[in-house]
Amino acid sequence: MDGQLTAFTAVAAGMVTMPGADFAVVVRNALDSRRAGVATAFGVAGGLLVHTALAVAGLAAVLVAVPALFGAVQLLGGGYLLYLGARALIGAFHRPASPSDAAADGTPAEADQPAAPLGTARSLRQGFLANALNPKAPVLFLSLLPQFVPAGQPALPRTLLLAAVVVAMALVWFPAVALLVDRLGTWLRRPRVARALQATTGALLTVLGGVLLAEVVLA
């Protein structure tokens, strides 16, 4: 048995399943619909495919070696996460928590009108950008993948295999999260629960985006 491959699989599983921006975006969009959640999940996996491909090609080293380029990616990534977080927070605090928030004449309040559903393409794009604009990922994969290449083995086939493991993990985990959220949808979409969950994911995305931007400013 390939002990290093087994160890890397365990590490990759921990990396992929750790709650973060990807998880928050998938959960937020899965609350909209199962299709939106699954599309977002595939977008996240596409972002991971880009990061692992860059690491295999060695292009991630360029990003790490050029501080200005790395800083630009941080600004883009942090700004995009702030944008997603702000939209989630606005949606949460403009969503009525109960029927009592309806207008006095019994007609639904304006905020209670159903929002336009997320399209598949938009959800896919959000998942992809949330992951692809994460500047920490190239550094992580560039430093991690070579550690699991056994001495004497060709580096390229091995790193391609490791990259495939990461993407396969994402293709299993994130759609599973989206399907679980949809499965629990009746409960999770109750007004108070949905507002609390949307506010939580919005706050998480906002904090993560703020951390990325703060690192650029304080660097």
- Calpha distance 205→51 (Å, rounded): 20
- Calpha distance 165→163 (Å, rounded): 5
What's 117's DSSP letter?
Answer: P
- Calpha distance 161→70 (Å, rounded): 26
- Calpha distance 137→128 (Å, rounded): 13
Report the sign of the C-alpha dihedral through residues 43, 41, 51, 164, in that order: negative
CB 93 within 8 A of CB 78: no
With a CB cutoff of 8 Å and minimum separation 6, the contacts of 149 are 155, 158, 159, 162
* Per-residue pLDDT reduced to its tens digit, 48-97: 999 888 888 876 677 667 777 777 777 887 787 788 778 778 876 765 54
What's 114's DSSP letter?
Answer: P
Average pLDDT, the chain: 79
User: Is the pLDDT higher at 147 or at 63?
Assistant: 147
Tokens describing residue 126: 């959000």
- Calpha distance 183→164 (Å, rounded): 28
H or E segment at 183? helix 155-183
* Per-residue pLDDT reduced to its tens digit, 3-59: 788 888 988 888 888 888 899 899 989 988 899 999 999 999 999 999 888 888 876
Least confident window among 42-46, 103-107, 198-202: 103-107
Rounded-to-10 torsion of CA 67, 73, 76, 77: -120
| pLDDT surpasses 50 at 102 | no
- Calpha distance 100→70 (Å, rounded): 49
- Calpha distance 97→190 (Å, rounded): 9
For residue 56, give the 3-state DSSP assignment: helix
- Calpha distance 203→207 (Å, rounded): 6
Nearest to 204 by CA among 123, 130, 145, 139: 130
> For residue 115, what pLDDT band results from cuts at 50, 70 and 90?
low
